[in-house]
Structure 1
């Protein structure tokens, strides 16, 4: 039913400044720029998903709602859009699984960069059924092509991190209802965390639950952080240092054969890690 994570949305105050930040961070230009109906967007296409920046643009209900979200919650990761090969079949299945999807609707966007138009169909699941994370299923007419990028640029999203106060609810949502592949369910007492790893479309959803803390099991989940994969980690580290980002030293990652570094600021509030995996 779900083919992968088509894209995820980072809401930001102003599209021009945010686009410049993420072009520097990822080491690649935006592939799509558009503005309509009170929202301006910029899309970065990677090998396994896309990052969509979204900001209020002008006046209207959508612009007002985006400004309200930014005022109340701050900028950050707000939405997930899973890809579906057959949007009607996905709608039928998720209706039966109690996710209360909206009606299927059509959408279109015109790229300000080259004038091309892309179209899609999509629906939204009820927030009450997705632990408060805005969740869509989308079927584009065709995927955005992946542009070549220099060594040290982000090539894929290695994993996306979701915080949950209720890991059993997350197991039901991402595993049983959305049908993602549960690859790991493990408690690590030394890190005071229970980890749930779900895989889809070449990336990992890392759902984390903090142990030893008081949690309201009815409280919402939140999309927390991102880990970008690069082919040359020292080159990425040097590139971001030269661009003025505050980055940690290179260090060994938790996953065997991996090396990582943290970007401490300049990410619009998104905890961000860069990773490279050994080829051996």
Structure 2
């Protein structure tokens, strides 16, 4: 019933500064700008997922709640939003699985630049039922517009989002059995801990648990994002020239991949870039 990870939300203090930082990182223009319900939003829609920047706007109760979250947690990843093609059916499933979904709401957004509108149906689950990670679920009426590439060596897509857990068994039950995501990998390593990959459309929800004894009652948390690039050397050169603090390019853990870490300009989101392994040609 869940078809993809539609978007992730990043809370920020200054929407304009955050939008400029991510435009530099992605080398793509914002695809949507909107303000309402106590928040200013800027969206970047890549080939397979959207990043939504959200900042408090005004003095409403909703804006005050966002400011409280920022004061408590700082800037960074705030929530996951999964897409479905049948929100009513998914709502019934979430309810049966005791994830306490809110009533389905119909939402419309108008882009402040173009005047275009988007509409969707949405619900959210109780955060305590999803181990501390805020989760939303939506059914879009039509696809979002893509962010336009403005210079070469842009970011193309999301590769994976990382969730950290102190209780891997319960996390596996949540993402696999209850949300219905396909577990593609479950591996343990004495240095890394336990690593689980759950397929979600064209990307992975990666759930990690560090080795050693941990407080299993501690809430899970959103830990970071990895983005795909076509040419990591060109992307490295572009970001370094723009003044972004980046690591050297290195060999990734997955055979054939090359990665680098982005150390600034991500609004508190730990960020990795990856050039995927080349696909082998098939012989017919």
TM class by smaller structure? over 0.9
Q: Which residue of 2 aligns with 1:180?
A: 181
- How far residue 243 of structure 1 moved from its aligned partner, in angstroms, is 1.0
Contact 1:34/1:109 (CA < 8 Å) preserved in 2?
A: yes
Q: Residues 251-262 of structure 1 correspond to what in structure 2 (within 5 A)? A: 251-262=250-261
* CA deviation after TM superposition for structure 1 residue 266, in Å: 2.2
- State the TM-score, normalizing by the size of structure 1: 0.97
Give the Cα–Cα distance (whole angstroms) in 2 for the partners of residues 101 and 136 of structure 1: 9
Which residue in the other structure is 1:69 paired with?
Answer: 69
Q: Compute the displacement of 1:192 (Å).
A: 3.2
Q: Do 2:44 and 2:146's aligned partners in 1 also have CA atoms closer than 8 Å?
A: no
Secondary structure at the aligned position of 1:275 is classed as strand
1:101 aligns with 2:89: no
What's 2:41 paired with?
Answer: 41
The equivalent of 1:268 in structure 2 is 267
Per the alignment, residue 126 of structure 2 pairs with 126
Whether the 8 Å contact between 1:225 and 1:272 is mirrored in structure 2 is: yes
Q: 1:56 maps to which residue?
A: 56
Shift of 1:147: 4.3
Name the structure 2 match of 1:168.
169
Q: Is 1:154 the equivalent of 2:192?
A: no
Structure 1 distance, partners of 2:80, 2:8, is 5
- In structure 1, C-alpha distance between the alignment counterparts of 2:147 and 2:72, rounded to whole Å: 36
Is 1:205 the counterpart of 2:172? The answer is no
CA RMSD of superposed structures (Å): 1.0
* Mapped pair 1:227 → 2:226: yes
Stretches of 4+ moved more than 6 A in 1? Answer: none
How many angstroms does 1:145 deviate by?
2.9
Q: What CA deviation, in whole Å up to 9, does each residue of 1:190-211 have, x standing for no partner? A: x332101101111011110000
Tell me the distance in 2 between the aligned counterparts of 1:226 and 1:184. 18
> What is the CA–CA distance in structure 1 between the aligned matches of 2:3 and 2:96, rounded to whole Å?
19
Rounded Cα–Cα distance in structure 1 between residues aligned with 2:140 and 2:59: 28
Deviations 1:205-240 (A, max 9, x none): 11100002x421111111111111011111110111
Contact kept? 1:108, 1:117, Cα under 8 Å: yes
CA contact (8 A) 2:182 2:199 kept: yes
Relative to 1, partners in 2 of residues 1:266 and 1:148: Cα closer, same or farther, differing over 3 Å?
closer
Q: How far apart are 1:97 and its partner, in Å?
A: 1.2
**Runs of at least 5 residues in structure 2 that lack an aligned partner in the other structure:** none
Counterpart position of 2:3: 3
Provide Cα deviations, 1:156-215, integer angstroms capped at 9, x if missing partner.
Answer: 1001111001101111100000000001111011x3321011011110111100002x42
Determine if contact 1:182/1:199 at 8 Å carries over to the other structure.
yes
Supply the distance in 1 between the matched residues of 2:147 and 2:239 (Cα, whole angstroms): 20
Aligned equivalents of 1:94 and 1:68: distance in 2?
28
Q: 1:148: how far off?
A: 4.6
